[in-house]
């Protein structure tokens, strides 16, 4: 790699190379920005150039990830090479001969016919963002890995312990590697630990340049530590490279949240706003705009009074054409509901502490609405902004439990704060926008199906 591709790899990247050289199947789960995709690109070029005939197949959950990440790195590595490798890498293909090529595909490109008859060649399959690739694609991949010299490299974030990637850690014979941000060179060079991030002393320790400025940095981690909270599944997966524990009564697993971020659905009805009004100084007032299954955070504001918040909602109603604002009316939210009602705006006050429709199953309306939101994720009926990390962190941190009477209850905001998590204001706004046919304050359902 050093001599031909002209790269300087750090120790765990070398470990990944050795894993592919020595094992049929290797899985690497790491923090964000550990250099997995970078080294995978080098592996693709090495395998292709060092074997003939050879076939290299790469995939990832989305088109953007195939073309914009791994194949971008492959093109850059090919250009950077100190020795002419031959061929010319295209957006998702590098071809030397008919029996000697590399190709990147996503699920829509997948064609079972194209996956036949590779059995004689040297075959390498690289799966990037491996936690998000479907079981169907893995089955197709297994079908081509039956020859004498076959290698599978899966790299990704530790977001889903249940899929093929996550199960690798419990599958005999798979070489597994886990990399925490605290193992990476921008941390180890200066001895920066999680305690330094927690205490805010990390900045003083950085006495020179970062050895790999493009790899994950202490500044990036410090921000996530504060915003997501060190016990959040997002922090575990994206900073520590650890799979979230199963059975922790997680309301919405991170893997479901990520699937919703990848999904693209048609906006529809209802067209409504969900408004979570800040109750404390550091909490945020959040407006979520929902059009059928498509939910987007429309506005986040801090330190505003109820008059200002009411104005924000009125403007949001006008700009989005939403039919109704569904406003959390507990505490200061009540003032916002009153103001909007006085201004004759379409507003529905939602009281999370009120009785649910299904009193057998749920402790309160908050639990019922959140459970309804969970079911949207479970059935694939929700599309979220792929760039909204904070919303993803909040949604995946929520927990539920059962009361003594066996009803479902959602952990309160105060309890979440005690666990070192951020106030789930964005998640609440999404939940409020998702709540359908909510029961008005004091209202008792007249009909069980109402
Ligand atoms: N050895 C290296 N030398 C120089 N640059 C590197 C090296 N390794 C990685 N990089 C750069 O660091 C950045 C992060 O690397 P990369 O995207 O491979 O990380 P990743 O582990 O795949 O992250 P993610 O979890 O976000 O997918 C990229 O810009 C990449 O080009
Ligand atoms: Mg990557």
Give me ligand 1 centre to Cα 163, in Å: 24
Q: Counting ligands in written order, which one lies closest to the CA of residue 216? A: 1
Q: Per-residue confidence of the chain (450 residues) as pLDDT tens digits? A: 999 999 999 999 999 999 999 999 999 999 999 999 999 999 999 999 999 999 999 999 999 999 999 999 999 999 999 999 999 999 999 999 999 999 999 888 887 777 776 766 899 999 999 999 999 999 999 988 988 899 999 999 999 999 999 999 999 999 999 999 999 999 999 999 999 999 999 999 999 999 999 999 999 999 999 999 999 999 999 999 999 876 679 999 999 999 999 999 999 999 999 999 987 666 889 999 999 999 999 999 988 889 999 999 999 999 999 999 999 998 889 999 999 999 999 999 999 999 999 999 999 999 999 999 999 999 999 999 999 999 999 999 999 999 999 999 999 888 998 888 988 999 999 999 999 764 454 444 333 333
Q: 199: Cβ–Cβ under 8 A, 6 or more apart, which residues?
A: none
> Which of 195, 211, 240 marks a domain boundary?
240
Smallest CA separation from ligand 1 atom 2, residue: 9
We report the CATH number of the domain holding residue 62 as 3.40.50.300
Task: Please indicate, yes or no, if residue 209 is contained in any of the structural domains.
Answer: yes
We report the CATH number of the domain holding residue 345 as 3.30.420.240
Residue whose token pair is 């197949």: 57
Give me ligand 1 centre to Cα 36, in Å: 6
Task: Please indicate, yes or no, if residue 340 is contained in any of the structural domains.
Answer: yes
Closest CA to 324 of 450, 170, 215, 432: 432
Regarding whether 286 and 404 lie in a shared domain, the answer is: yes
- The pLDDT assigned to 447 comes to 35
- The pLDDT assigned to 117 comes to 66
Atom of ligand 1 nearest to the CA of 129: 27
Task: Please indicate, yes or no, if residue 4 is contained in any of the structural domains.
Answer: no
Q: What is the DSSP string of 120-145?
A: TSEEEEEESSGGGS-HHHHHHHHHHT
Give me ligand 1 centre to Cα 73, in Å: 9
Q: Is 241 in the pocket of ligand 1 (CB under 6 A)?
A: no
- The pLDDT assigned to 246 comes to 67
Q: Counting ligands in written order, which one lies closest to the CA of residue 185? A: 1
Smallest CA separation from ligand 1 atom 11, residue: 214
Smallest CA separation from ligand 1 atom 10, residue: 35
End-to-end CA separation in angstroms for the chain: 65
Atom of ligand 1 nearest to the CA of 157: 25
Regarding whether 160 and 35 lie in a shared domain, the answer is: yes
Regarding whether 333 and 282 lie in a shared domain, the answer is: yes
Q: Is 35 in the pocket of ligand 1 (CB under 6 A)?
A: yes
> Which of 160, 179, 198 marks a domain boundary?
179
Helix axes 365-379, 425-434, angle to 10 degrees: 80
Atom of ligand 1 nearest to the CA of 40: 18
Regarding whether 386 and 429 lie in a shared domain, the answer is: yes
Regarding whether 118 and 30 lie in a shared domain, the answer is: yes
CA–CA separation, 14 and 214 (whole Å): 17
Number of domains in the chain: 3
Give me ligand 1 centre to Cα 194, in Å: 21
DSSP element (H, E) containing 234: helix 233-235
Q: Which letter, b or e, does each residue of 188-217 get, where b requires 16 or more Cβ atoms within 10 Å of its Cβ?
A: ebbebebebbeeeebeeebeeebebeebbb
Atom of ligand 1 nearest to the CA of 38: 18
Regarding whether 289 and 222 lie in a shared domain, the answer is: no
> Which chain residues have CB less than 5 Å from ligand 2, an ion?
37
Q: Which of 215, 224, 254, 387 gets mutated to test ligand 1 (max ligand atoms within 8 A of its CB)?
A: 215
> Which of 143, 159, 179 marks a domain boundary?
179
Task: Please indicate, yes or no, if residue 448 is contained in any of the structural domains.
Answer: no
Other CB atoms closer than 10 Å to residue 147's CB: what's the count? Answer: 13
CA–CA separation, 67 and 56 (whole Å): 15
Q: DSSP class of residue 421?
A: P
Q: Counting ligands in written order, which one lies closest to the CA of residue 34? A: 1
Q: Which of 214, 221, 234 gets mutated to test ligand 1 (max ligand atoms within 8 A of its CB)?
A: 214
- The pLDDT assigned to 109 comes to 81
Q: Is 229 in the pocket of ligand 1 (CB under 6 A)?
A: no
Regarding whether 150 and 34 lie in a shared domain, the answer is: yes
Q: DSSP class of residue 449?
A: T
Q: Is 36 in the pocket of ligand 1 (CB under 6 A)?
A: yes
Q: Which of 37, 61, 209, 261 gets mutated to test ligand 1 (max ligand atoms within 8 A of its CB)?
A: 37
Regarding whether 325 and 306 lie in a shared domain, the answer is: yes
Q: Is 376 in the pocket of ligand 1 (CB under 6 A)?
A: no
Atom of ligand 1 nearest to the CA of 179: 21
Q: Is 32 in the pocket of ligand 1 (CB under 6 A)?
A: yes
Q: Which of 15, 17, 35, 261 gets mutated to test ligand 1 (max ligand atoms within 8 A of its CB)?
A: 35
| Domain range enclosing 99 | 11-179
């Amino acid at each position: 790699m050093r001599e031909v591709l002209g790269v300087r790899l750090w120790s765990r990247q070398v470990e990944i190379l050795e894993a592919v050289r020595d094992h049929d199947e290797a899985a690497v789960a790491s923090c964000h920005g550990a250099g997995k995709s970078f080294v995978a690109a080098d592996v693709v070029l090495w395998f292709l150039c060092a074997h003939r005939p050879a076939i290299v197949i790469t995939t990832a959950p989305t088109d953007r990830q195939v073309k914009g990440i791994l194949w971008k790195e492959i093109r850059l590595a090919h250009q950077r090479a100190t020795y002419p490798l031959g061929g010319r890498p295209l957006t998702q293909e590098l071809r030397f001969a008919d029996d000697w090529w590399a190709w990147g595909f996503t699920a829509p490109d997948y064609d079972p016919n194209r996956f036949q008859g590779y059995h004689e060649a040297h075959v390498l399959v690289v799966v990037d963002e491996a936690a998000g690739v479907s079981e169907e694609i893995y089955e197709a991949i297994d079908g081509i890995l039956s020859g004498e010299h076959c290698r599978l490299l899966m790299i990704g974030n530790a977001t889903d312990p249940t899929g093929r990637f996550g199960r690798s850690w419990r599958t005999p014979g798979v070489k597994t590697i886990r990399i925490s941000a605290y193992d990476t060179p921008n941390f180890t060079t200066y001895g920066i630990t999680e305690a330094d991030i927690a205490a805010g002393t990390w900045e003083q320790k950085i006495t020179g340049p970062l050895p790999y400025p493009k790899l994950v940095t202490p500044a990036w981690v410090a921000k996530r530590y504060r915003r997501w909270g060190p016990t959040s599944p997002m922090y575990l997966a994206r900073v520590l490279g650890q799979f979230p524990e199963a059975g922790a009564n997680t309301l919405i697993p991170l893997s479901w949240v990520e699937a919703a971020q990848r999904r693209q659905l048609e906006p529809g009805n209802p067209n409504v706003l969900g408004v979570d009004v800040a109750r404390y100084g550091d909490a945020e007032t959040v407006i979520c705009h929902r059009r059928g299954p498509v939910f987007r955070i429309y506005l986040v504001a801090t330190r505003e009074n109820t008059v200002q918040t009411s104005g924000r909602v009125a403007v949001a109603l006008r700009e989005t054409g939403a039919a109704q604002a569904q406003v959390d009316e507990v505490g200061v939210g009540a003032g916002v509901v009153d103001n909007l009602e006085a201004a004759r705006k379409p507003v529905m006050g939602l009281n999370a502490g009120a009785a649910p429709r299904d009193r057998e199953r749920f402790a309160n309306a908050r639990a019922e609405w959140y459970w309804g939101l969970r079911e949207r994720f479970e059935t694939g009926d929700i599309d979220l902004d792929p760039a909204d990390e904070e919303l993803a962190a909040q949604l995946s941190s929520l927990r539920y439990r059962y009361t003594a009477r066996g009803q479902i209850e959602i952990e309160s905001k105060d309890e979440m704060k005690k666990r070192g998590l951020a106030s789930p204001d964005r998640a609440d706004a999404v939940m409020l926008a998702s709540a359908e046919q909510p029961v008005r304050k004091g209202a008792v359902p007249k009909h069980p199906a109402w």
